Chain A
Amino acid sequence: MTTALIIEDNENNLELIRFILEQSQYKTRFAMTGLEGVQQALTMPPDFVILDIQLPDINGLEVLKRIRAHPVGKDIPIIAMTSYAMSGDKEKLLAAGCTAYIEKPIDPILVIGQIQKAIAR
Chain B
Amino acid sequence: MWMLLLGQGAQSAGNLLTTDERAWLNAHPDISLTMWDDYAPISFHGENGKLQGFMPDYIELLESKLNYKFKLVVPTKEESLSNGKRGAREDVISLLADTQDRRVYWNFTPTLLSFPLNIVTRNDAPKDMTLSQINNMKLSVVQGYASQEFVQENYPQIKLDLVNNTCQGLQHVAFHESFAMLTDLPVASWCLKTQGLINIKVAGKSEFKYEMSLAVRNDWPILFNIIKKGMKAVTKSERQVLHNRWLDQDAFEQSWMYSNRVWLIALVLFLLLSALIRVYVWDSNMQSNVLQRMTNVSDDDKELEHISEASSGLTPRILILLCIILTLLGTLITTEQWVSHQDRILLGILVAALMLMMLFGGYKLGSIRRNEENESLFEQLASQVKTRQTAEKIAKEQTLRLFKQQKAIQTLTQTQTKENIEEIFKEIAQVSAETLNVERVGIWLLDSDKQMLECVDLYLKTKSLHTTANPLLAKELPTYFQFISQNRVLAANDIMLHPATVEFRQGYAQENNIGAMLDGSIWLNGNMIGTVCCEHIGNPREWTLDEQGFVGSICDVVRLTIETDRRHQAEQALLQHSEELEVMVEARTLSLQESEQRLTSVIKYAPIPILTIKMDGEIIEFNPEAERVTGFSRSEAIGKNFIDIFVVKESFKKAIAIGIGTKRGEAFRNVELIFKCADGRKIEFECSIVKAGKNGGSDVGQMIAIGQDITQKKVLQASLIKARESAESADRIKSMFVASMSHELRTPLNSIIGFLGVVLQGMSGDLNIKQKDQLGRAYHSAKHLLSLISDVIDISKIEAGFLEIHTESFALKPMFNEVVNVIHHIADGKHLNLHIDCSEDIVLETDRKRLYQAILNVVSNAVKYTEAGSVTVEAKIINEELIITTQDTGIGISPSGLEQLFKPFERAESHLKIKTLGTGLGLYLTRKILTQLLGGSIEVESQVGVGSTFTIRVPVKISEQTLLNNQSILEDQPL
Given contacts A54-B743, A88-B804, A91-B808, A104 and B750 within 8 Å (CB-CB)? yes
Q: How far is the CB of B808 from chain A (nearest CB, A)?
A: 7
Residue of A nearest to B755 (CB): A16
Decide if A25 is an interface residue (CB 8 Å cutoff).
Answer: no
Contact across chains for A16 and B751 when beta carbons are under 8 A apart: yes
Decide if B849 is an interface residue (CB 8 Å cutoff).
Answer: yes
Decide if B824 is an interface residue (CB 8 Å cutoff).
Answer: no
Contact across chains for A107 and B790 when beta carbons are under 8 A apart: no
Bound CA span A91–B849, Å: 11
B806: chain A residues within 8 A (beta carbon)? 87-88, 91
Decide if A1 is an interface residue (CB 8 Å cutoff).
Answer: no
Max count, chain B CB within 10 A of own CB: residue among A13, A86, A107, A109: A86
Decide if A10 is an interface residue (CB 8 Å cutoff).
Answer: yes
A88: chain B residues within 8 A (beta carbon)? 804, 806
Decide if A39 is an interface residue (CB 8 Å cutoff).
Answer: no
Decide if B747 is an interface residue (CB 8 Å cutoff).
Answer: yes
Contact across chains for A12 and B748 when beta carbons are under 8 A apart: yes
Binds A, one of B6-14, B641-649, B757-765: B757-765
Decide if A56 is an interface residue (CB 8 Å cutoff).
Answer: no
Contact across chains for A87 and B849 when beta carbons are under 8 A apart: yes
Residues A9-26 near B (CB distance < 8 A): 10, 12-13, 16-17, 19-20, 23
Residue of B nearest to A90 (CB): B849
B764: chain A residues within 8 A (beta carbon)? 19
Decide if B803 is an interface residue (CB 8 Å cutoff).
Answer: yes
Bound CA span A13–B764, Å: 16
Residues B426-458 near A (CB distance < 8 A): none
Residues B732-778 near A (CB distance < 8 A): 742-743, 746-751, 753-755, 757-758, 761, 763-764
Decide if B57 is an interface residue (CB 8 Å cutoff).
Answer: no
B228: chain A residues within 8 A (beta carbon)? none
**Number of A-B contacts defined by CB within 8 Å:** 64
Contact across chains for B761 and A13 when beta carbons are under 8 A apart: no
Bound CA span A62–B142, Å: 201
Q: How far is the CB of A51 from chain B (nearest CB, A)?
A: 15
B754 contact from A84, A86, A91, A106, Cβ within 8 A = A106
Decide if B850 is an interface residue (CB 8 Å cutoff).
Answer: yes
B758 contact from A13, A19, A84, Cβ within 8 A = A19
A114: chain B residues within 8 A (beta carbon)? none
Q: How far is the CB of A98 from chain B (nearest CB, A)?
A: 16
Q: How far is the CB of A80 from chain B (nearest CB, A)?
A: 14
Bound CA span A10–B761, Å: 22
- Encode contact with A along B842-853: 1 for CB under 8 Å, 0 otherwise: 000001011000
Residues B383-426 near A (CB distance < 8 A): none
Residue of B nearest to A23 (CB): B763
Bound CA span A105–B747, Å: 9
A83 contact from B746, B758, B783, Cβ within 8 A = B746
B747: chain A residues within 8 A (beta carbon)? 10, 13, 54, 83
A12: chain B residues within 8 A (beta carbon)? 748, 751, 754-755
Bound CA span A30–B41, Å: 205
Given contacts A19-B758, A108-B761, A87 and B804 within 8 Å (CB-CB)? yes
Residue of A nearest to B786 (CB): A105
Contact across chains for B754 and A105 when beta carbons are under 8 A apart: yes
Residue of A nearest to B805 (CB): A87
Bound CA span A19–B764, Å: 9
Of the four ranges (under 10, 10 to 19, 20 to 34, 35 or more), the interface on chain B belongs to 20 to 34
B746: chain A residues within 8 A (beta carbon)? 83-84, 104
A54: chain B residues within 8 A (beta carbon)? 743, 747
Bound CA span A17–B755, Å: 9
A13: chain B residues within 8 A (beta carbon)? 747, 750-751, 754
A108: chain B residues within 8 A (beta carbon)? 754, 757-758, 761, 763
A105: chain B residues within 8 A (beta carbon)? 749-750, 753-754, 757, 783, 786
Given contacts A87-B847, A87-B850, A109 and B761 within 8 Å (CB-CB)? yes
Max count, chain A CB within 10 A of own CB: residue among B754, B761, B804: B754
Bound CA span A120–B779, Å: 31
Given contacts A83-B750, A104-B746, A105-B783, A16 and B758 within 8 Å (CB-CB)? yes
Interface of B is mostly: helix
Residue of B nearest to A16 (CB): B754
Bound CA span A87–B748, Å: 22
Bound CA span A88–B808, Å: 10
Of the four ranges (under 10, 10 to 19, 20 to 34, 35 or more), the interface on chain A belongs to 20 to 34
A19: chain B residues within 8 A (beta carbon)? 758, 763-764
Contact across chains for A10 and B751 when beta carbons are under 8 A apart: yes
Bound CA span A108–B760, Å: 10
B748: chain A residues within 8 A (beta carbon)? 12
Q: How far is the CB of A73 from chain B (nearest CB, A)?
A: 26
Residue of B nearest to A92 (CB): B806
Q: How far is the CB of B296 from chain A (nearest CB, A)?
A: 126
Q: How far is the CB of B935 from chain A (nearest CB, A)?
A: 16
Q: How far is the CB of A56 from chain B (nearest CB, A)?
A: 12
Residue of B nearest to A109 (CB): B761
A84: chain B residues within 8 A (beta carbon)? 742, 746, 790, 793
Bound CA span A10–B744, Å: 11
B742: chain A residues within 8 A (beta carbon)? 84
Max count, chain B CB within 10 A of own CB: residue among A12, A83, A105: A105
A104: chain B residues within 8 A (beta carbon)? 746, 750, 754
Bound CA span A104–B752, Å: 11
Contact across chains for A87 and B758 when beta carbons are under 8 A apart: no
Bound CA span A91–B804, Å: 13
Bound CA span A13–B754, Å: 8
- Encode contact with B along A75-116: 1 for CB under 8 Å, 0 otherwise: 000000001101110010000000000001111110000000
Bound CA span A83–B739, Å: 12
Bound CA span A83–B757, Å: 16
Q: How far is the CB of A95 from chain B (nearest CB, A)?
A: 12
Residue of A nearest to B751 (CB): A12
- Encode contact with A along B49-60: 1 for CB under 8 Å, 0 otherwise: 000000000000
Bound CA span A105–B745, Å: 12
- Encode contact with A along B792-836: 1 for CB under 8 Å, 0 otherwise: 010000000001111010000000000000000000000000000
Residue of A nearest to B759 (CB): A108
Bound CA span A10–B806, Å: 29
- Encode contact with B along A35-79: 1 for CB under 8 Å, 0 otherwise: 000000000000000000010000000000000000000000000
B805: chain A residues within 8 A (beta carbon)? 87
B749: chain A residues within 8 A (beta carbon)? 105
Q: How far is the CB of B824 from chain A (nearest CB, A)?
A: 15
Q: How far is the CB of B202 from chain A (nearest CB, A)?
A: 184
Residue of B nearest to A107 (CB): B757
Residue of A nearest to B790 (CB): A84
A20: chain B residues within 8 A (beta carbon)? 758, 763
Bound CA span A83–B748, Å: 10
Max count, chain A CB within 10 A of own CB: residue among B758, B805, B808: B758
Residue of A nearest to B794 (CB): A84
B786: chain A residues within 8 A (beta carbon)? 105
Residue of A nearest to B764 (CB): A19
Q: How far is the CB of B610 from chain A (nearest CB, A)?
A: 56
B790: chain A residues within 8 A (beta carbon)? 84
Q: How far is the CB of A50 from chain B (nearest CB, A)?
A: 13
Max count, chain B CB within 10 A of own CB: residue among A19, A87, A91, A107: A87
Residue of B nearest to A54 (CB): B743
Bound CA span A23–B850, Å: 35
Q: Known pairs A20-B758, A106-B754; list 7 more (Cβ under 8 Å).
A: A12-B755, A13-B754, A20-B763, A88-B806, A104-B750, A105-B753, A109-B757
Q: Please give me the 9 A-B residue pairs with the lowest Cβ-Cβ distance, nearest first.
A: A12-B751, A105-B753, A16-B754, A105-B750, A104-B750, A108-B757, A83-B746, A87-B806, A88-B806
What are 19 residue pairs bridging A and B, where the CB atoms are less than 8 Å apart in the complex?
A10-B747, A12-B748, A12-B754, A13-B747, A13-B754, A16-B755, A17-B754, A84-B742, A87-B847, A88-B806, A91-B806, A91-B808, A104-B754, A105-B749, A105-B753, A105-B754, A106-B757, A108-B757, A108-B761
Residues of chain B whose beta carbon lies under 8 Å from any beta carbon of chain A = 742-743, 746-751, 753-755, 757-758, 761, 763-764, 783, 786, 790, 793, 803-806, 808, 847, 849-850
